[in-house]
Structure 1
Amino acid sequence: MDQEEQQPRIRFWPIMIAIFVGSFLCVLASSTITIALPILQDHFETSLSTIQWTMTGFMLAMGTFAPIVGYLGERFSYKWLFTGALIGFTLASFLCAVAWNEYSLIAFRTLQGTFSGLIVPASMAVIYQVIPRERQAMAIALWSLAAMMAPAIGPTLAGWLLQNFAWQWLFLMNLPIGIVAIVLVVMCIPYYRLSVPKKFDGFGLLTVILSSSSLLLALGQGHNWGWGSAGIISLFVFGGAMLIAFIWRELTTETPLLNLRVFAYGRHTLNLLITVILTVSLYSGTLLTPLFLQRIQQVSAMDTGLIMLPASLVMALIMPVIGKLYGSIGPRVLMAIGIPLLALGTLMLSWLSLDVPHSYIVWWMIVRNLGIAMVMMPASNAAMERIPRHLTGHASSISNWLRNVFGSFAIAIFTTLLASRSAQHAQEMAMAGDTNQQHIGMMAFTMSVNDVYLIATAIAAVAFPLALFVRKLKVTDLREKDKLAA
């Protein structure tokens, strides 16, 4: 062990503020670009399919590089990995602001996504390696709050900036926040290093990059290129082969890039499965609600953000309470309440109509977000409770990697379903004698949104019986973990 592993007195709030600001910044960057696409398309005089790569490249890089956090954190320490990623992210934000054409912007956004892919799992690893066990539930509640609030605040903030300033401010606003985050991390997070890899797994790095990028690209472009096209099928086959090679390598090498043996911990694997299932369901709200408001009800991007904001504020208020309750009642009770709330909120959003009042959407988004708050934090914390301290970096890398992959999968599947169901409903209405094309288009899209929300409800319900197996750990279980870690 490193001599500097002797940790100083842990200051909870300074460390959590540093983690919160850093995590919030990188998640915010993934949500502010969406409504700027038409403006960027006009500015650079390019096609929408080209400028969309500012989003695709970001998500692709974020998912591709998340798996190497475990190695980099052990090699350089998680403090300096977190710091370096924040510095890289801030510099990439500046480069995005001075981009001279669409291709330079896509390149710099991809670079920004690379550093974002390091920030989120690194910040999670810091929590489990630095924060005392009795305060980890509260720490994860605050960490989850940063990840969940940013996508809701992002569209409103982006809309205001685009309405009053130039598009460059979407990236320039990251500079002061990034500098503050860097200073906080350097000053507040103690240096520590639990182990140092003996050698670098180059083959593991190559196969994980090839597999992640191929599968994420196939999922992201399947709807545009066609799921049965030669390009998409080739990407899936190649990505699958590289993934098998990566798994084989990591299970047989002495010093794996990503230690897959964390799956031997049943509690971690069960809660990770719950998280993955719910991640797929959660993306329905992120994708469908803004689409419905803007496309069908003609609500501006800024007003869409304002409609979605109350649910995020309620979640912000309830998240610390969930962190407190976790220690007393455990994850099973919280998830047993949260999953039905999430499913109910999603189900009620499957009954949208052309003239549905915004108060209806606001109310059921609040119910839905209450369920999210009561599920995602307990599942994330329960997954890590039995993981030895020296493996938490690898466990957090795997968790965030799978969230990225299945988040991309959810968007791909829901987008495809939205298109196919819209076409089917439009055909049925035309056969029924409706000749108003505008009405057909709006009704068909609304009905397809309802269909997808209904499917998302069923997906969320699948997690409920699994959550009943997640018991509250006894004090003896936690002491046993501490002995193993020592």
Structure 2
Amino acid sequence: MTQAYPPPLQRNLITLFALSGSFMTQLDTTIANVALPHMQAATSASREQITWVLTSYIVMVATFTPLSGWLAGRFGRKKLFLASIVGFTGASALCGLAANLDQLIAFRLLQGIMGSALLPMSQAILLDINPPERHGSAMAVWGIGAIMGPIVGPVAGGWLTQNMSWRWIFFINLPIGVIAFAGLLLTMAETRDDKPVRLDLLGFVLLGTSVAAMQLVLDRGQLLDWFQSTEIWIEATAFYLFLVHTFTARRPFVNPGLFRDPNYVIGNVMGFFLGGLMYGVMALTAPMLADLMGYPIQFVGMVTAPRGIGTMLTMLFMGPIVNRVDNRISILVGLALCGVSMIMLSNASLEMDSDLVIASGFVQGLGSGIMFVPITTAVFATLAPQYRNEGAAMNSLIRNLGGTIWISVLQTLTIRNEAVVHARLVETVRPDNPMMGDFDFGALQAVARMDIEIGRQALMVSYVDAYWLLFVACLVVMPLVLFLRRR
């Protein structure tokens, strides 16, 4: 029996309102970054404490995203999506009204839980309301909402914080949430499984625990000397227990059948690296411009905006042609452009101007946009329809974890490399070095200025090395493209 699809007008309205809901959640992954100093001052928090405003949200989204597949099958996708919009919008209002750090973190946790279903369910909705020949175009439109949120976040956060208040980075979600809720309530039909499966509560608890433990390993490993610490070993064991349960339980929370599809596995591996290229570079570039170059917050957002422009241009272009061009060729071209952008950024120095960041960001945006649609299409190209809810949830989880893990790894390597380079540069600062000229080692102010400059040089070198690592990652992923199958 042929599946009935909504008429074009209704389909376009559902797409618009569904993407509005998912856009909010992706916007909130980065919009708070630039406002952290203002929130820190308002809540009297330390530098370490205020980062929980970011990590608490990301961890909750990653933890509860896989549950969205079961909830959609049990209660219906429309009910789940509408409830998530209401919960996320309400939690955003509470974040804006928070009186202290404890309240802000608690409401961010709630925000992450309530918004975890919006991105994967919007993807599943677009796949269901479009016939297979339109899936490429649908994923291109969905990708704009998924990628543009984190890219627009720093620009919007900088402007709102500087011109209004940090609280408005949360209040901005209220009108979007109201419009998305009303629109979907009127246009979207209900969809749910005829025979929903039972919830594997133990599997969900183990998955959530392993995601949270993984974040703790990444956050605290640097301080505890990694696996020399008993705490790190205990936290790492959580993931092992989850794997054992998944492959031994009769009806596990994460169905291993998902990973019998080669396209799904390879596409998710690529999505993991794509998350690093998108979020990792942003996490490196923004502090580099602010700390080393002295750019104001709003200007940092403007300099990084061309990355979003490049992404939007290519994703709009890829939609109509994704079903006409071999996805493998598109992915290789996108990886090559991302690699070129990393080579461009490896020329960064303390004497550079903003043109290098703008040009490299635009090139990377082009590459990310070219890759995103083919990778997303490849993930679902051969996946059985009964796995679509769960597959979309796991795909979002893996992509989010990719961004989080890459950010933590890159920052850890940057900190360590900075210390190593600083120590090597300091070794050359001695009276018998003819390059020092007539430098007065007895002048404390001159020595202090020299140490500051050495620190800046060491940090810049560590950033450059991180960009080279991302370039190597592009080369490593390229051979996987050959194993993808067309639909």
Alpha-carbon offset, residue 163 of structure 1: 1.3
| Cα 1:283–1:152 shift into 2, 3 Å | closer
Question: What is the CA deviation profile of residues 88-119 of structure 1, one whole-angstrom value per residue up to 9, with x for unaligned ones?
Answer: 10010011112121101100001111122221
Regions of 4+ moved over 6 Å = none
> Could you tell me which residue of structure 1 aligns to residue 121 of structure 2?
122
Instruction: List alignment gaps of at least 5 residues for structure 2.
Output: 430-435, 437-446
What secondary structure is seen at the aligned counterpart in 2 of 1:329?
coil
Counterpart in 2 of 1:275?
Answer: 271
User: Compared with structure 1, are the counterparts of its residues 88 and 235 closer, same or farther at alpha carbon in structure 2 (3 Å cutoff)?
Assistant: farther
Is the alpha carbon distance of 1:333 and 1:90 closer, same or farther for their aligned partners in structure 2, counting shifts above 3 Å?
same
Residues 196 and 9 of structure 1: CA distance in aligned 2, closer, same or farther (over 3 Å): farther
On the 8 A contact 2:6/2:129 being kept in 1, the answer is no
Output one character per residue of 1:343-398: Cα deviation in whole Å (capped at 9) or x when no partner.
Answer: 11112111100021211211111111111111122111111011122211111111
Q: For the pair shown, which has the larger CA radius of gyration, 1 or 2? A: 2
Matched, 1:340 2:354: no
Superposition deviation, residue 224 in structure 1: 4.9
Distance 1:123 1:115 in 2: 14
- Secondary structure of 2:28 counterpart: helix
User: Where does residue 421 of structure 2 map in the other structure?
Assistant: 425
8 Å contact from structure 2 (residues 221, 232) kept in 1: no
Task: Please state how far the C-alpha of 1:12 moved relative to its aligned partner.
Answer: 3.0
Match of 2:320 in 1: 324
In the other structure, the counterpart of 1:93 is 92
In structure 2, relative to structure 1, the CA distance for the partners of 1:278 and 1:232 (3 Å cut) is farther
**Structure 1 residue 259 corresponds to structure 2 residue 263:** no
Counterpart pick for 2:301 among 282, 305, 308:
305
Alpha-carbon distance between aligned partners in 2 of 1:6 and 1:188, rounded to the nearest angstrom: 15
How far residue 405 of structure 1 moved from its aligned partner, in angstroms, is 2.2
2:444 is matched with which residue?
none
Which residue number in structure 2 is paired with residue 223 of structure 1?
222
Change (3 A) 1:198 1:396: closer
- Report if the CA contact (8 A) 2:27-2:149 is conserved: yes
Change (3 A) 1:246 1:404: farther
What is the match of residue 72 of structure 1?
A: 71
Structure 2 counterparts to residues 138-287 of structure 1, below 5 A: 138-224=137-223, 226-228=225-227, 230=229, 232-249=231-248, 252-254=249-251, 256-287=252-283
User: In structure 2, do the counterparts of structure 1 residues 108 and 399 end up closer, same or farther at CA, with 3 Å as the change threshold?
Assistant: same
Asked if the contact 1:336–1:468 (Cα under 8 Å) also holds between the matched residues in 2, the reply is no
Aligned-pair CA distance for 1:46: 2.1
Query: What's the CA shift for 1:157?
Result: 1.2
The residue type equivalent to 1:352 in the other structure is: A
TM-aligned CA distance change 1:353 to 1:236, over 3 Å: same
Bigger Cα displacement from structure 2, 106-115 vs 396-405: 396-405
Normalization by structure 1: what TM-score? 0.91
Would the aligned equivalents of 2:304 and 2:358 in 1 still touch at CA under 8 Å? yes
The code of the aligned residue for 1:382 comes to A
Q: Any conservation in 2 of the 1:8–1:190 contact (CA below 8 Å)?
A: no
Quick one: which of 465, 471, 474 aligns to 1:457? 471
Unaligned runs of 5+ in 1: 474-486
Check conservation: 2:92, 2:111, Cα contact below 8 A.
Answer: yes
TM-score by length of 2: 0.91
Alpha-carbon distance change, 66 to 198 in structure 1, aligned in 2, over 3 angstroms: closer
Give me the whole-angstrom Cα distance separating, in 1, the residues matched to 2:171 and 2:123. 26
Are the aligned partners of 1:340 and 1:371 in contact in 2 as well (CA < 8 Å)?
Answer: yes
Kindly tell me: are residues 187 and 370 of structure 1, through their superposed partners in 2, closer, same or farther at Cα, counting changes over 3 Å?
Answer: same
Write the distance in 2 (CA, Å) between the matches of 1:92 and 1:418: 34
RMSD: 2.0
Amino acid at match of 2:400: N
Q: Which amino acid aligns with 2:306?
A: P
Give the distance between the partners of 2:235 and 2:137, measured in 1 at CA: 39
Structure 2 letter corresponding to 1:120 = L
Question: Take 2:355 and 2:44, find their aligned partners in 1: how far apart are those partners?
Answer: 38
The residue aligned with 2:82 is 83
Cα separation, 2, equivalents of 1:7 and 1:336 = 33
> 1:228/1:203 Cα in 2 relative to 1: closer, same or farther (>3 Å)?
closer
1:361 aligned to which of 353, 357, 379: 357
The secondary structure found in structure 2 opposite 1:31 is coil
Rounded to whole Å, the distance in 2 between the matches of 1:206 and 1:427 is 45
Q: Percent identity?
A: 27
- Amino acid across the alignment from 1:253: R
Q: Match for 2:462 among 444, 448, 464?
A: 448
- Secondary structure of the 2:86 match is helix
Question: Is the 1:227–1:233 Cα contact (8 Å) retained in structure 2?
Answer: yes
Q: Distance in 1 between matches of 2:26 and 2:267?
A: 23
SS in 2 for 1:193: coil
Alpha-carbon separation, structure 2, partners of 1:197 and 1:32: 37
SS in 1 for 2:350: coil
User: What whole-Å deviation, never above 9, does each CA across 1:19-67 have from its counterpart, x for those lacking one?
Assistant: 2211111111111111211111111112121121111111110111111
The 2-side partners of 1:253 and 1:195 are apart by: 20
Q: Does 1:18 align with 2:17?
A: yes
Q: How does 1:391-430 map to 2 (within 5 A)?
A: 391-430=387-426
Is contact 2:313-2:366 (8 Å) kept? no
Q: What letter matches 2:250 in structure 1?
A: T
**For residues 56 and 230 of structure 2, what CA distance do their matches in structure 1 show?**
18
Cα distance, 1:140–1:117 mapped onto 2, change above 3 Å: same
| Distance in structure 1 (CA, Å) of the matches to 2:207 and 2:465 | 35
SS in 2 for 1:328: coil
State the distance in 2 between where 1:102 and 1:365 align: 34
Q: Distance in 2 between matches of 1:214 and 1:372?
A: 30
